Structure 1
Amino acid sequence: MAPQIYTSPYPSFPIHSTSVFTRLFASRGSGDIGGFSGSLKAFVDADSGASITRAELVQLTLSFAYGLKNHPTTSLFATRGSTVLIFSPNSLAWPVVLFGSVAAGLRCTLANSAYTSAELAFQYNDSGARLILTTEDGLSVVREMFAELGLGKEEAEKRIIVLGQDLRWAGGPSAPASPASKGLLRMEDLLNRGKLDQEEKFEGSNAHETVYICYSSGTTGKPKGVETTHQNMTTLLDIVSPAFPPMTGDTVMLGILPFYHIYGIAKLVHFPFSQGCPVIIQTRFDPVKFCAAIQKYRVTLSLIVPPVLVVLARHPAVDEYDLSSVNLLFSGAAPLGRSLAQQVKDRLLSKRKGPTKLAVTQGIVCPPLSSSHMLRFAGYGLTETSPTTHVLAAEDADRKMGSIGPLLPNLEARLVEDDEGKIDAAEGQPGELWGYLNNPVATKNSITPDGWFKTGDVAIRDKDGYYYIVDRRKELIKYKGFQVPPAELESVLLTHPDIADVAVIGLESVKEATELPRAYVVHAHPEKVKSAAAKAEFARSVAKWMESKVARHKFLRGGVGVIDIIPKSAAGKILRRNLRELAKQEAARGDLGLDVKARL
């Protein structure tokens, strides 16, 4: 029997083979940049108000690209196809260095700005990066990383470019350079040496070359580098557009999502620019600053994650600022519950007078994860895909609240029951055809011989073709949109001198609308933790110790449980379902001290 293949309700788009830079910046008429006036603001620093227009961004990026390719220090590391790593929180410099690197023909790998030196070292090596762009605050981690990699100080510092706090290059306020950055090359040093006449071209088959390498935790082992091509990203700009409301001249987007996350880089740095919409950049989410920026800049649209909605449902700042300009909140990166979306909508609308419109909706930006549910891009090979598969349009936000929407154009999906894809079912999860960098085994395990990518999530498709995420088969924990692989945390915990065995599961926090990693550990010397008080003290010490070993989003916020033995199968596989049952019992007794429940 032929498999049941679902298609998108939207008309398909033609696929264009060109570079990301050309697609975004090419002039389509006199004085325009990418189809919009060069005088329009492109990005604005929320705190200072410093901004860059579309025309200024072109000049800055081509100047930065020229500096990379011609500066005597960086030229050896900036040949076409080389990889540069960006290790920085959001800033006005981000679009300049990102698109400048792309214009120079480089590949960009984007690292979590909270990474430890060990985590950063893995990505630096695995991606093949040669240069690293970082802030003054990130210098200590970068230097420690290079030391761990055995690179001498003189050689290491040739590979560092500093993104400082000084915004005079964008007409903003000045700031002194930190003593720690003395002698290092700065972004500004590369902006005054000249300008490329044109960007590096990636036309035709060259559009299949990699441009971005974001890292996904996958389901086993260390994180995997996901290769996104020029054509992936340019196709995304087309297929997402039908599900988004038109971005008129009055549309203003507030950007709080981290740019190093695929959700942020795709939907904040690329998509708004392709629509002529300015983005107000905030370094990170802060409830008061978030509300203040909405009031100051009359923000109409913001891309968020579910934990932000938790804050908006309860934080007093919502009542202290005028948020009436907002007409769309778009949530992604993790499932959004119907009740939470309704709470936020009701609270925001309660402050308004007269007829108003407000949509709280969601889409899914699916990382490439291996499992048993499948989706593919119709007619495309691995290099033809893009990160977003579903978007719930604003007009459907009430009617289909809780849904991730229908398939986007050019996509096909299957919902299957078995690992081989022989049995169609009403369950499954759409995903992308993305391959894993330098990891053919993981790629092979993720993609079937006939081209379907396995996502690991379980979904329901209703009679109207709208999809609802109901569960995940994979073990991956999601903390506020960030992926936390249990195997990675377990490998770190096993380096603790007093831990003999360990397993990590995710607890669902109702209060925070996210999952919290919880570890169960076996003490190497059980006689030392016989009493309840000794176990509690050891658990606290392990959680504190872990905070020095991993990034903040990987902290053991679900706590640590000390048990006698980790349940395992005869083959040695951790029986996490047994630990989830244990967590349920602990939660029922109130032993966890958290408003949580174990994930099914």
Structure 2
Amino acid sequence: MNISNHSSAHSPSYDVESVSPFPEIPIESLPVRNLYSHLLPLDSPFSKTSPAFIDALTEKSLSRNDLRHEAGKIAKGLNSELGLVRRKETVGIFLANGLDWAEIFLAAQRGGWPTALFASSLSSTDLSRQLELSRPEVTFTSTTLLPTLQAAYSLLLTPPSSSEIQRKTVLIDSSPNVDTQGFRTLDGLKADISLEQVELEDRQIEREGEDIAQRTSVICFSSGTEGLSKGVETTHHNLTSLMTMMKPPVFPTLDPAKDSMLGLLPFSHIYGLFKLMLLPLQHGFPMVIVPKIDLRAICHAIQTYKVTCAIVVPPILIHLASSKVVDKYDLSSLDWLLSGAASLGKDLIHKVEARFSASNTIVLQGYGLTETSPVTHILQLSDTQAHPGSIGRLIPNVEARLVDQEGKDVVPDKEGSAEGEMWIKGPNVMKGYLGNPEATRDTIDSDGWLKTGDIARVDPNGYFWLVDRRKELIKYNGHQVAPAELEILLLTHPGVADVGVVGIWSESEKSEVPRAFVAPSSTDDPLTHEAETTLILEIQDWMKTKVASHKLLRGGIVLIDQIPRSASGKILRRKLRDLASTSPGHV
């Protein structure tokens, strides 16, 4: 940091802006290049033939040479078969984690095509909004997810024809249960080009500089600080800078010869993309993909591949701390677990470390946002015992400040108790929200400070703690859930007259979860207890068909006579939270 103590005859004063304790990296040393070339440089010091990604389910793997070759074939096919012009059109990926995902992503980056990342858990309604925002020229998907993609296209303001959907879709597999006639396949798209030809073209791509660096690399989707889904434009320079800023000693030192990382989190989320796709390629260690979050599969992969580190979220730690399944496997290879997406409590950290005490496995955490590509803070391995529960200190080249509700800087104190909304500045701050300059201006001020919407505090040594989430935004296990989005949807249900949604803490999930307060549609007589129960169950079942899993009303539904609103019509969420503390929701 440093929060420096300026001596005076009176009380000490502290700098209001915090900086990283690590040496700043000169701006001229931050890479100015295509993300693809940064991940797979021709002069890479790492083995070109050793596994880079391993699918724990199929036991198949891809080396760096494989990744380069397959990415080259796909990129060539996108240009020659589909007519995509380099750097112009957007490519979409609507897939679960897998080796194909890695090939396709690198192909899009090689071609300089902005890549829209759609979570495989999305409902057709959610996906349609993101398609409307990003407008991909082509989207890669599977036969399992094809019906959702087709339904999403049908919901667009100007739905494409069936033949147009076929033209814009590439399937990675086939299925006798799905009509795939007329659709192009991934294998059919790949051009017949040798690895040597790909490498020759890559020499030219490596010479790309400032022009490509400031262009959009990926479009991830975030609710920002409030409202409906926004497309976050992250540039090549955002990502290559952050990767440089995250080199040891900031990120733990890993040995490609002995270390491997477990890949659980969705690559479509910036957290999973950066930590599980980008960092392993930069640091040279293999990443073991577990396509579906299943505790037995996780433990089996750790035991089989002697995984030494894993990027997780709190629910996974809860299972590792308490499930009897863990006892059936040898997980002694695990050196550390890095948790993000939601703040961890000291109790859970201690439970996990106690469970793995024989192997001295350490739990550490970090912090970041989709809008910061994502990392801004990290707690180092050496700091975990002295600062449990802290999100750590700022990484190099990143600044932070705490701001009160009036927009004034909060002056940190010696006790580290002063709180404020955390604002962030650095080369990893996003380009902006896609097609939404107003939201971009509301989130990033004229001096480049990004308003995180999170309340935090910082101690004199630069260790940060999250205190609370901004009230309007619910963060469920790394996903951002906008109450306004759920309210708009719930108001379309015939049994709902008015509704307000807030986040409540779930001890069982160690996360915020959405709870809906519903004013039922008017009836002549008050609803009986049986009718209330029927309506609540009907709404819950209805929601399961409308939204992704992370947006379900896990906090339950409470029926009330009237939603509290201000004179201007705004929902008084504080009053709903007060009700939540005394009214158990029907789940």
> Would you say same fold, with TM above 0.5?
yes
Task: Please state how far the C-alpha of 1:460 moved relative to its aligned partner.
Answer: 1.4
The residue that corresponds to 1:23 in the other structure is 38
Partner SS state of residue 53, structure 2:
strand
Which shifted more, 418-427 or 557-566?
418-427
Which of the residues 559, 563, 570 maps onto 2:560? 563
Matches of 1:573 and 1:421 in 2, distance apart? Answer: 25
Q: TM-score, structure 2 length as denominator?
A: 0.90
1:410 aligns with 2:407: no
* Mapped pair 1:12 → 2:24: yes
2:368 equivalent to 1:359: no
Deviations, residues 219-249 of structure 1 (Å, cap 9, x unaligned): 3332111110001110111111232221102
Counterpart residue number, 1:236: 242
- Gaps spanning 5+ residues in structure 2: where? 1-12, 413-417
Whole-angstrom distance in 2 between the partners of 1:292 and 1:78: 43
Return the match for 2:379 from 378, 388, 392.
Answer: 392
Cα 1:177–1:301, aligned 2, differ >3 Å: closer, same or farther?
Answer: farther
CA contact (8 A) 2:16 2:409 kept: no
Matches within 5 A, 1:342-353: 342-349=350-357, 352=358
- Residues 487-546 of structure 1, C-alpha deviations (whole Å, 9 max, x = no match): 000000011112111000111111111122111111112435432332222111111111
Q: CA deviation at 1:78?
A: 4.8
For the 8 Å contact 2:280–2:286, the answer to whether it is kept is yes
Mapping 1:207-218, distance limit 5 Å? 207-218=213-224
The CA deviation at 1:403 is: 0.7
Alignment of 1:268-347 (within 5 A): 268-347=276-355
Query: C-alpha distance in 2, partners of 1:393/1:318?
Result: 26
Deviation of 1:194 (Å): 2.4
User: For residues 52-451 of structure 1, what are the structure 2 equivalents within 5 Å?
Assistant: 52-71=62-81, 74-75=82-83, 77-149=84-156, 150-164=159-173, 179-194=178-193, 196=198, 197-199=200-202, 200=205, 202-241=208-247, 242-248=249-255, 249-349=257-357, 352=358, 356-368=359-371, 386-425=373-412, 426-428=418-420, 429-431=422-424, 433-434=429-430, 435-451=432-448
- Amino acid of the structure 2 residue aligned with 1:414: R
Q: Aligned with 1:549: secondary structure?
A: coil
Answer yes or no: is the 8 Å Cα contact 1:235–1:386 preserved in 2. Answer: no
Matched residue of 1:133: which SS? strand
Q: 1:37 aligns to what SS in structure 2?
A: coil
- CA deviation vs aligned residue, 1:260-289 (integer Å, no higher than 9, x gap): 001000110001110001011111210111
Retained in 1: the 8 A contact 2:220–2:370?
no
Aligned to 2:502: 505
- Deviation for aligned residue 1:331: 0.2
1:148 Cα deviation after fit: 2.8
- 8 Å contact 2:267–2:273 — kept in the other structure? yes
The answer to whether the 8 A contact 1:540-1:560 is kept is no
When residues 57 and 101 of structure 1 are mapped into structure 2, their CA distance, relative to the original with a 3 A threshold, is same
Is the 1:457–1:474 contact (alpha carbons within 8 Å) kept by the matching residues of 2?
no
Counterpart amino acid of 2:164?
Answer: E
Cα 1:106–1:324 shift into 2, 3 Å: same
AA of the residue aligned to 1:363: G
Which moved further from structure 2: 271-280 or 530-539?
Answer: 530-539
* Native 8 Å contact 1:244 1:394 kept in 2: no
Once residues 393 and 423 of structure 2 are traced to their aligned partners in structure 1, the CA distance between those partners, rounded to angstroms, is 10
Cross-structure match for 1:48: 58
2:581 counterpart SS class? helix
Aligned with 1:194: secondary structure? coil
- Residues 227, 485 of structure 2: 8 Å contact kept: yes
Structure 1 position 397, deviation (Å): 1.4
CA change 1:365–1:164 in 2 (3 A) is farther
- Specify the alignment match of 1:31 in structure 2: none
Which residue of 457, 461, 470 maps to 2:458? 461
Find the partner of 1:545 among 524, 527, 542. Answer: 542
Which residue in the other structure is 1:491 paired with? 488
Deviates more, 1:469-478 or 1:105-114: 469-478
1:128 positional shift: 2.6
Q: TM-score, normalised by structure 1?
A: 0.88
Counterpart secondary structure, 1:415: strand
Counterparts of 2:445 and 2:453 in 1: how far apart (Å)? 13
- Contact between 1:216 and 1:223, CA under 8 Å: does it hold in 2? yes
Does the residue aligned with 1:403 lie in a helix, a strand or coil?
coil
Relative to structure 1, the CA distance from residue 419 to residue 83 in structure 2 (aligned partners, 3 Å threshold; closer, same or farther) is: farther
Structure 1 segments (4+ residues) deviating >6 Å:
none
Aligned to 2:6: none
CA contact (8 A) 1:480 1:514 kept: yes
Contact 1:251 1:300 in 2 (8 A): yes
Task: Name 2:8's counterpart in structure 1.
Answer: none
Identity of aligned residues (%): 39
Counterpart of 1:339 in 2: which secondary structure? helix
Q: Distance in 2 between matches of 1:308 and 1:431?
A: 28
**Helix, strand or coil for the counterpart of 2:445?**
coil
The structural deviation recorded for 1:138 is: 0.6
| 8 Å CA contact retained: 1:255, 1:279 | yes
Deviation at 1:334, TM superposition (A): 1.0
Q: Tell me which amino acid in the other structure corresponds to 1:103.
A: R
Which SS does the other structure have where 2:341 is aligned? coil
| Residues 1:256 and 1:78: Cα distance change in structure 2 (over 3 Å) | farther
User: d(CA) in 1 for partners of 2:549 and 2:140?
Assistant: 21
Distance in 2 (alpha carbons) for counterparts of 1:177 and 1:418: 58
Tell me the SS of whatever aligns to 2:217: strand
> What CA deviation, in whole Å up to 9, does each residue of 1:419-469 have, x standing for no partner?
423554532325463221111111111122222111111111112111111
Secondary structure of 2:320 counterpart = helix
Instruction: Give, in whole Å, the separation in 2 of the partners of 1:68 and 1:443.
Output: 32
Aligned residue for 2:9? none
Separation of aligned partners in 1, 2:460 and 2:164 = 61
User: For the residues of structure 2 that align with 1:424 and 1:212, how far apart are their CA atoms?
Assistant: 36
CA RMSD of aligned residues (A): 1.9
